[in-house]
Amino acid sequence: MKKVAVNIARLVLAVTLILSGFVKAVDPLGTQYKIQDYLTAMGLGNFVPDFLTLSASVLLSGAEFMLGICLLFAIRRRLVSKIVLAIMVTMTLLTLWLAWTDPIHDCGCFGDALVLTNWQTFWKNVILLALAVIVWRWPLEMPRLISESNQWIVFNYSGVFILLFVALRSLYTLPQFDFRPYHIGADLREGWQKMMDGEDSPYTDFFIETVDEGEDITEQVLNSEGYTFLLIAPHLEQADDSQLDELNRIYDYSSEQGYPFYCLTASSEKAITRWQDMTGAEYPFCQTDDITLKTVIRSNPGLVLLKDGKVIRKWSHNALPEEEELTERLEDSGLGKMPSNSVPTKILWLLTWFVLPLVLLTIADRLWAWSKWLRKKNKKYNPLNKEKRIMRKKIVAGNWKMNMNLQDGIALAKELNETLKADKPNCGVVICTPFIHLASIAQFLDQDIIGLGAENCADKEKGAFTGEVSAEMVKSTGAQYVILGHSERREYYKETPEILKEKVLLAQKNDLKVIFCIGESLEEREAGKQNEVVKAELEGSVFNLSEEDFRKIVIAYEPIWAIGTGKTATAEQAEEIHAYIRSIIAEKYGQAVADDTTILYGGSCKASNAPELFAKPDIDGGLIGGASLKAADFKGIIDAWKK
């Protein structure tokens, strides 16, 4: 039930973030205007330059879209769930303020595609916040849609798509999906007439008033039969002047063909005069509300073509009609007709170039994962591999760390000894104790049932090294094993790969079996560096060994973020990296050595999760910490091999 709830929450959040990010990215200027509205409401409108608000618009939409993709595909689950929770806490508080004070009438969370009131937005965010808490609480309950090794493809492809092919493309040309009342195909004449008749209309603030005489010519323009060009420049002071020759050429064409041409602006007469002096513009100028002009077209300047009061074409100043397109009358030209890239065509483009590749990648990835699992399963149960499987020893090893005095340690060892004598284990059992316990425990421990090991040894053979215990000393107590490379030794005592290399060599020189620990921190796991970390640790300390000596090594993989924290890597996570470790051993020493190498899992393993972990084909047992300090708990893990 918990897993179902988490994944319902995950899907709702993912879809919401993807849609919200997409509609913002498809209209970056509209998102910029909304950010400016927020800043103005906070009294910061005059302090933040336009290029920063535009950059924020693009990055915000991209980040929102990418977070939705990461949730959908379960990429970097812990980190993403924390970020989503932080965002939802912030947005819920922000929209509560908006709903309470009402400084702006629409938060813009879904752009112009879906307009919500501020209170509707707040309650929507309350629901999303609750879902974000669920996902944050149990992030590992979200199954991956694609294997961890291929997640970078999904992440990078989605990032390039939303930023380059959606946001920047829409910014350079025009929004690929236009949700505003002035979209191509909108009948302004009909909408204006409804408004004049007292009906609801989105064109209430649309008017055209001549600059020279102050005459309202809105009705005249909209009722004009045939074609009309509208040059839209909300603020001439900020208009892009790189295409002045092209604009003048289009005006000359309209004059020659007898098509009306007006420049609609909200600028002052002074700014209009300056523009005329700078450009040589001869077209008439008209006043219109600046917010309305920004709504008509996301370009300054931009060009709109009306036919019988209906919008049939729009051009950004970056993509104006070419000269060869204006050699005949619009009635006989393709420019005079509705464009062929309709909404269904654009949706098909979106499905073909974004959705379909991800679907195909996911299917291919899952088929590969399934075939890999099938090969392992067949290998595991193939009678020809039976002998090879038996050669890989199953081990449950206890690491007591710095716990229990001598008397308590002896008592625990005796209890384990008697328990396992009475109920023989189905695997190898090792207890690794503090140095002071070794000699005493070795006297009564039946090492045919329970192996004895130390938790460390020195990297020097002998000498003036006060407080150190050499490998020879460990061996003399009767111990058979030694743990080396444990994360606590690496972190607290700064044991380097070179130091560990010396320890391994001395341990093997004294016939001690090495349990060599490797593993990544939480930061390294969240950065996706776990593979390179474990590979570097092996290469730095044990890959120098000959094949014969390496066969004596037992590897213990410890996700450091799961040691003593109560967190546990999922069985799938553990199996995935165990399989990777076995693969790099195969690269170094060959498949036969890799198949014979025992690899233990060492991260918060308990009797409750041991059966699931040990059932994985590349997990050969566990290196147990806290649960090895009680005989019953340790026995419960050992018994997982009987299930």
Residues serving a catalytic function are 486, 558
- Kind plus residue range of the DSSP H or E element containing 516: strand 513-518
Of the candidates 214, 190, 213, the residue with the CA atom closest to the CA atom of residue 202: 190
- Kind plus residue range of the DSSP H or E element containing 11: helix 2-25
Q: How far is CA 440 from the centre of its chain?
A: 53
Phi, psi of 208 (to 5 degrees): -130, 120
379 is in an annotated binding site: no
**8 A C-beta contact, residue 417 and residue 442:** no
What tokens were used for 570?
């999922």
Which of left, alpha, beta for 21 (phi over 0: left; psi -120 to 50: alpha)? alpha
- CB neighbours (10 Å) of residue 335? 18
What tokens were used for 263?
């420049």
d(CA 77, CA 151): 12
Pairing of strands 481-484, 513-518: parallel
Cβ-Cβ contacts under 8 Å for 11 (sequence gap 6 or more): 72
Q: In what order do the strands lie in the sheet with 302-307?
A: 209-210, 285-287, 261-265, 227-233, 302-307, 310-316
Of the candidates 92, 311, 94, 86, the residue with the CA atom closest to the CA atom of residue 206: 311
**8 A C-beta contact, residue 575 and residue 615:** no
The position carrying tokens 């009131």 is 117
**8 A C-beta contact, residue 461 and residue 470:** yes
- CB neighbours (10 Å) of residue 361? 17
478 is in an annotated binding site: no
d(CA 161, CA 12): 22
242 is in an annotated binding site: no
Phi, psi of 433 (to 5 degrees): -115, 165
409 is in an annotated binding site: no
- Kind plus residue range of the DSSP H or E element containing 623: strand 621-624
399 is in an annotated binding site: yes
625 is in an annotated binding site: yes
604 is in an annotated binding site: yes
Of the candidates 97, 106, 91, 95, the residue with the CA atom closest to the CA atom of residue 34: 106
Of the candidates 44, 24, 192, 43, the residue with the CA atom closest to the CA atom of residue 107: 24
User: Known binding site for substrate: residues?
Assistant: 399-401, 564, 604, 625-626
User: Known binding site: residues?
Assistant: 399-401, 564, 604, 625-626
